[in-house]
Amino acid sequence: MDKPLQNKIAIVTGSTAGIGEGIVRRFAAEGAKVVVSGLEKKTGERIAASIRLAGGEAVFQFADLRKPEHCKALIRRAVDEFGGLDVLVNNAGIYPHSKFEETTADFWDTIFEINARGVFLCVQAAAPAMRARGGGSIINIGSCCAFQHYEGLFAYGATKGTLYHMTMAMARKFAPDHIRANWITVGWVPTENERKVEAAEGHDEAWYEQARQRLPGQEFQTVDDVAAGCVFLAGGEARQVTGSDLRVTGGQCVRF
């Protein structure tokens, strides 16, 4: 039996670390040809090599999503290397903390450049390639911060709220092209970088343990939990699923 993503061509932005790395590895295991991308060149090359060693197809493309030409080159790499593009996971994102009162114009611009404008530029470049294949799947990695206020994450929440709007607008815009656009609300995944951000706020293991106990299901989410949602949204089983919000939150920020 074919794997769920057999012969699909996928790009995962920000797949040189954390959640993105988990998604790209899982996509490759499910049969996709993948473009690994992000800022960490050596790590990205290593991830692509290890996928190839395991029998998969993968290349690494360095792309700084603040640069429009890098966004275009990233999409072009999938087309040049594998012959097209079926799936784009917009996972790259930064979530530095800044108090509302201390947030500068530069901070605001940088976080929007990466978390929102970079996604727009990638999708703008990806849409013609997907159209040429008769359709595709765009998956935007979101956060509870789009729907709730968290101290220190005002600007970040604004980027994710923007991304949520973009997802739904893309779902409508691209429906005639059979390009689907979906959003995953990610709860809390203590990745290496997420831990660094919290450590900078003075939060230690004991703080994480208390935080975990306060979660509705008393569990953090994992990279694999998010990757599993992406496999579903990328694959043929989701052919009629667009404009959806898949909550991988363990019960956090549930809405009625």
- Contact region for ligand NAD (CB under 6 A) — 87-95, 97-105, 202-210, 227-235? 87-95
Number of residues that bind ligand NAD (CB under 6 A): 28
Name, in order, each residue with C-beta under 8 angstroms of 240's C-beta and a sequence gap of 6 or more: none
CB 21 → ligand NAD: shortest distance, Å? 7
- Does position 93 interact with ligand NAD (CB under 6 A)? The reply is yes
- CA 26-238-135 angle, to 5 degrees, is 95
**In the β-sheet with 33-38, what is the strand arrangement from edge to edge?**
57-62, 33-38, 9-12, 87-90, 136-143, 179-186, 245-248
The angle subtended at Cα 118 by Cα 112 and Cα 123, nearest 5°, is 135
27 in contact with ligand NAD (CB under 6 A): no
d(CA 38, CA 94): 12
Of 58, 141, 179, 246, the one binding ligand NAD (CB under 6 A) is 141
Q: Is 106 left (phi over 0), alpha (psi -120 to 50) or beta?
A: alpha
Closest CA to 22 of 247, 225, 236, 234: 225
Q: Please tell me whether residue 61 binds ligand NAD under the rule CB under 6 A.
A: no
Nearer to ligand NAD, 39 or 215 (CB): 39
Give the integer Cα–Cα distance in Å for 89 and 190.
20
Question: Least Å distance between CB 141 and ligand NAD?
Answer: 5
The pair of three-digit structure tokens given for residue 46, joined into one six-digit string: 């290593």
Q: Which is nearer to ligand NAD, 127 or 144 (CB)?
A: 144
Residues 194-213 contacting ligand NAD, CB under 6 A: 194
Which one, 134 or 217, has the nearer CB to ligand NAD? 217
Piece in contact with ligand NAD (CB under 6 A), picked from 16-24, 81-89, 125-133, 234-242: 16-24
Place of tokens 């995962």: 12
Q: Is 62 helix (H, G, I), strand (E, B) or coil?
A: strand
Using the contact rule CB under 6 A, the part of the chain among 27-35, 36-44, 167-175, 240-248 near ligand NAD is 36-44
- Binding region for ligand NAD (CB under 6 A): 13-14, 16-20, 38-40, 63-66, 91-95, 114, 141, 143, 186, 188-189, 191, 193-194
**Could you list the active site residues?**
156
